[in-house]
Amino acid sequence: MIHLSEVRYTYPKGGAEAIRGISLDVSMGETLFVLGHNGAGKSTMLRLFNGLLKPGSGTVTVDGTDTREVRPAQLSRTVGLVFQNPDAQLFRDRVSEEVSFGAENGSGDDDATERHERAMALLDLGSVADHNPYDLTLSWRKRVAIASVVAMGTPVLVLDEPTGGQDADGTRVLTDLISDTRRRGHGCVVVTHDVDLAFDCADRVVVLRDGKIHLEGSPMSVLGDPLLSRAGVEPSTMHQISAGIGLDPPARRVDDLEEYLAAAGG
């Protein structure tokens, strides 16, 4: 759905090249996680996905369209992108109005009302539907911002650091959202620092380092890779435990740990 080919990008104000030759595909039905420390190129890549930035060289196509040929607003019908700061986008007086704005602007298969209701339910916003978004806490405002983009029903959903500052409930809601996106056959890209979230939810993980793809593969292979630390990313908790007890292949779930301990006991 999104296709990057040999993409390079340098910000106009100069400085080092932010993206240094990245080729990547985001497919429908796939959940892709992007990890990497600050400055590795995550936020630049995000902006290349929906044409906010156009590649300096190489090409980015969204559903076959070269992003250089259309405006970001046009691409937003295919790629729904939510930045981490909700206050950059909320502008309606009620939560449900904010979400219906996305629904009306969207392009999904079903009608706007349906998309609105589904987004409200997915982000569990029923209890605050009539509140002013700005009367809510930051983590709730973030849920509203995400809901308004989810309501657009775009084939690809891109989330920037969605779980940052979320409580237990918010984190559960967001992991459910990611599963729902996959179930619907939509593409999902999550940019995050949360390695365990990637471990739980990703189909594929890309680790960026200095504007290049440092590692790429399944969460089980990438999130325990010895080269991970070079990109400033910690291994997942399960990989840390597995490495600590010499469990190879590493435990995927607690079941595997149980099995290991039972075997040691037996």
Partner 1 sequence: MASRARRVVPQTDQHGHTGVVETDTATWSPARVAELYEIGNTWLHRAHPLTKLAAVLPLSVAGFAGDTVLVPAIILAAAVLTLVVSRLGIIALKSLRLMAPMTFALVVIHGIVRPYDSEPLVAWGPISVNAGGLALAGTTAARIAVFVIAVTAAMATVHPKIFATALIQRGVSHKLAYAYLAGAELIPEMRLRATQILEAQQSRGFDTKGSLPRRLRTLFALLKPLLVSSLIGVEMRTLALESRGFSLPGRRTAAVAVRERGRLLQRSLLLASIPLLVLAVIW
Partner 2 sequence: MSGAGLPESASLTASTFASFEEFTFTYDTASEPTLTGLTLGLRADQLTLISGPSGGGKSTLARVVAGFIPRPLGGSFEGTARVLGHDVESAPPHVLTESVGVVFDNPFDQLTAATSTAFDEVAYALENEGLPPDEIVARALEALESVGLAEMTGRHPRRLSGGQSQRLAIACALAQRKPILVLDDPTSQLDPTGREEVVSLVRTLRDAGTTVVLVAQDLGHWLEMADRLVILDEGRVTADGHPATLLTDPRLFDGTILVPRCVAVWADLRRRGIALGDTPPLTTDQLVSSVRNLGREREPTP
For the CB of residue 37, give the shortest distance to partner 2 in the complex, in Å. 6
For the CB of residue 81, give the shortest distance to partner 1 in the complex, in Å. 4
Q: Given CA atoms 210, 214, 218, 222 in this order, what sign does their dihedral have?
A: negative
Binding-site partner at residue 71 among partner 2, partner 1, none, CB < 5 to 8 Å by type: partner 1
The smaller minimum CB distance to partner 1, of residues 113 and 237, is found at 113
CA distance 226 to 209: 15
CB 118 within 8 A of CB 126: no
The angle subtended at Cα 81 by Cα 75 and Cα 86, nearest 5°, is: 135
Q: Helix %, strand %, coil % for the chain, to 5?
A: 40, 20, 35
Residues engaged in binding partner 2 (CB under 8 A): 37-38, 135-140, 164-172, 193, 196, 232-234, 237-238, 240-241, 244-245, 254, 257-258, 260-261, 264-266
Residues engaged in binding partner 1 (CB under 8 A): 47, 50, 52, 71-74, 76-77, 80-83, 85, 87-91, 102, 105-106, 134, 148-149, 152
Binding-site partner at residue 10 among partner 2, partner 1, none, CB < 5 to 8 Å by type: none
CB 194 within 8 A of CB 202: no
Binding-site partner at residue 188 among partner 2, partner 1, none, CB < 5 to 8 Å by type: none
For the CB of residue 94, give the shortest distance to partner 1 in the complex, in Å. 13
CB 61 within 8 A of CB 2: yes
Cβ atoms < 10 Å from Cβ of 228 = 22
For the CB of residue 201, give the shortest distance to partner 1 in the complex, in Å. 22
Binding-site partner at residue 90 among partner 2, partner 1, none, CB < 5 to 8 Å by type: partner 1
- Please give the DSSP secondary-structure letter assigned to residue 251: P
Cβ atoms < 10 Å from Cβ of 78 = 22
CA distance 74 to 95: 25
Binding-site partner at residue 38 among partner 1, partner 2, none, CB < 5 to 8 Å by type: partner 2
For the CB of residue 194, give the shortest distance to partner 1 in the complex, in Å. 21
The smaller minimum CB distance to partner 2, of residues 12 and 265, is found at 265
